[in-house]
Amino acid sequence: MTQGTQSAPDERGFAAPQITFEPNFQAWRKRPGEPRAQSQRGRLIGKPHAGNGAIIIGAMNESDHTNNPVNSAASDADLAVLARDIRHWGAELGFTAITIADADLPGAGEGLRRWLAAGCHGDMHYMTRHTAERARPAALIPGTRRVIMARMDYWPGTSALPAAEALGDGTLAYISRYALGRDYHKVLRARLQKLAERIAQAAPARCRVFTDSAPVFEVALAQRAGLGWRGKHTLLLGRDGSYFFLGEIFIDLPLPVDTAEPGHCGRCDACLAACPTRAIIAPYRLDARRCLSYLSIEHPGPIPEPLRPLFGNRIYGCDDCQLACPWNRFAPQSRIVDFAVRHGLDRAPLTRLFAWDEAEFLERTAGGPIRRIGHERWLRNIAVALGNAPAAPEILAALRERADHPSPLVREHAHWALRRHGTGNAD
């Protein structure tokens, strides 16, 4: 998933389709003198079906979550070879890195409980559910022994208008770089499912894939798996930055684990200083109620007036804490075509986007992450940005056009923007 509040997880349900796997353990183990790639595999029965971002590949009866024979019969050498193969298959599918963590996160839940008690989650009430399972993958999916963490880069690099230029032009809309292309849920889910199927063809294993579809402490798991460390902005950070998505596969095999990555932020506090609303209230502590990503995506109601001028021209998400991070100077450009800029959203004028009716909004955001906020919040966010834009006839005309919108939410923000330009409500 994307990290932090840039796109909060959809955890309202995480039922998954079942794929039955008929294990052939002896065939999985490499025969003397036989290349592993040519070994006879077990066979899959049935096909995966679309679900809520999760897929189960089973090697056990539904009633037996713990007694996979591979757990006792596989040698360390077998499992090490399988882990190596998983990394190779992941690279073929476009993942930048594949690492493995154990399924134990001692003490990880206490920080969440303090954060929730302080109300820092805002309207994200789903965060209060399944708190115990977040820190205990085996409680979420019985039988889980390891978590395979997958990273996929999204940074558009030179293929998009530089972020600094977009943010510096108040007439343009700034959209978080992760949201310029296709919806990462769809892209990661499809590729993780292919990886899980490949694993099941190679070994009798039970896997479950997640992409923002269950309560998972993915940053803690990714750090434990050696993918990076938690930055002071709360996102996972590596030596080549933080512009990437995370996905995970829960598996019931005791694969060899990777070494956790220590932190490398040192005394740097660039992300704290860069946050427009000071939502990073302390190192490693974010108050979502002040975060522009949360407010523009997750928050359903009016944007708090004191924070509206701080939005600038940001209409979907915010990248400031990442743009300020020195490690992101080394961020690689994504090679995933699905994340390429669509519909010129890296340099679109605010007035053009504000003119979209609901049908055009749905058409142009189809297959992308922006669609989930709906047309009403889209207009709400752009109205705020227009209120912060340089005064110009076309800006005022666009706001007046929406001043009588059927939605009270849109009307209120359009009127605020007009007042900010000194023109009254709709004069």
Q: 400, 372 in Cβ contact below 8 A?
A: no
**188 Cβ contact partners less than 8 Å away, ≥ 6 residues apart:** 1, 150, 152, 211, 245, 247
* Domains of the chain, residue spans: 18-160+177-251, 349-427
The helix/strand/coil state of 43 is strand
Query: How far is the C-alpha of 24 from the C-alpha of 318, rounded, in Å?
Result: 49
- Pull the structure tokens for residue 9: 């997880």
pLDDT at 50: 36
pLDDT at 12: 35
Q: State which H helix or E strand residue 50 sits in.
A: none
* Residue carrying structure tokens 């919806």: 183
For residue 348, count other CB atoms closer than 10 A to its CB.
18
- Pull the structure tokens for residue 139: 């409680």
Q: 28, 204 in Cβ contact below 8 A?
A: yes
Query: Taking the CA of residue 314 as centre, how many other CA atoms within 13 Å lie in the half-sphere pointing to its CB?
Result: 28
Choosing from 78, 153, 183, 212, the catalytic residue is: 212
Q: 328, 177 in Cβ contact below 8 A?
A: no
For residue 174, count other CB atoms closer than 10 A to its CB.
29
Residue 252 is given by DSSP the state S
CA distance readout (Å), 418 to 47, 68, 293, 354: 55, 65, 24, 14
Q: 156, 334 in Cβ contact below 8 A?
A: yes
Phi first, then psi: give them for residue 208, nearest 5 degrees.
-140, 130
pLDDT along the chain (427 residues), means of 10: 46 35 37 36 33 40 44 78 97 98 83 86 82 80 95 96 97 98 95 96 92 84 96 97 97 96 95 98 96 97 98 98 98 96 97 98 97 97 98 97 97 98 71
Query: How far is the C-alpha of 273 from the C-alpha of 52, rounded, in Å?
Result: 38
pLDDT at 374: 98
Whether 10 sits among the annotated catalytic residues: the reply is: no
Q: State which H helix or E strand residue 27 sits in.
A: helix 25-28
Residue 309 is given by DSSP the state G
**301 Cβ contact partners less than 8 Å away, ≥ 6 residues apart:** 123, 409
- Pull the structure tokens for residue 66: 């713990």
Q: 16, 56 in Cβ contact below 8 A?
A: yes
pLDDT at 129: 78
